[in-house]
Structure 1
């Protein structure tokens, strides 16, 4: 497996080996020992699968008191995937890492606990799958406004399809100011 570090501590872009021939392909999407060697040692407790149409943007999401690590990938289609550092004590707070994840490139992104995460769909349909290191707690969920100008994320969509909740997320500065009070 090829591994690329990003500018954010612990955030990795992973390229698993793909074994293909005229019949199709085989890919190992997770193997405990191999991923532990990369520092991904937390146990995964939940697998999620979402399907979204072109232009849908989900995020930027995180959990406040029980942060989830996420190993994300796309099994069908193509997305622009973003990880945002929201830790006010981090030297990279407010910075992000991004990658195109698709069923063609088979890339995965490791999002350690404590980061915000989001993606937008570039293909007609995308199936987005991810393993989580903690259980989803709806009352614990937080978010950052996807188009916060201070973040300078170059989203490849100008008018995404958003949930009402994501439309109302605060800017990172507002979020951080609220957590200090």
Structure 2
């Protein structure tokens, strides 16, 4: 099959690494946003201190003379206490679960970013290497140099040219490692 004849182990690893980094990066960003919003809601719910509020209402009811309507309202509130306590416990468990998931995802993304990754990009194309954090495009190849964009910044690069970036809070370097007539290969590695 013509499609796979030019596929070398290096190209395959580059493509696989790029796809894995893109998937994990996108997942991490989406999960981080969802978890942050969810954690804020759970924390706000925990701060209500529902059990203390119900106890205070009981003490007040015993010391004050209540009307029939007030007795009915208090009875309704007392019936809600077990459900509210259960909801509070469920929210605490969910916060712990979301925190564990976030930590696991952060660890996975950090593991990918710590490894060197190489990616080949055809002329006239751009690739999102780390979603919302690193995009590289190859504009043109001029023999021993290229015109490229790194995160939207125009660059003229020769093999060995490097650009330092901050990706997901980590210093990284993008280095042009190879030029061919129809593509350029870049390496993403830890910055020194």
Tell me the TM-score normalized by structure 2: 0.22
Structure 1 or 2: larger strand share? Answer: 1
Tell me the TM-score normalized by structure 1: 0.23
Structure 1 or 2: larger helix share? Answer: 2
Larger Rg: 2
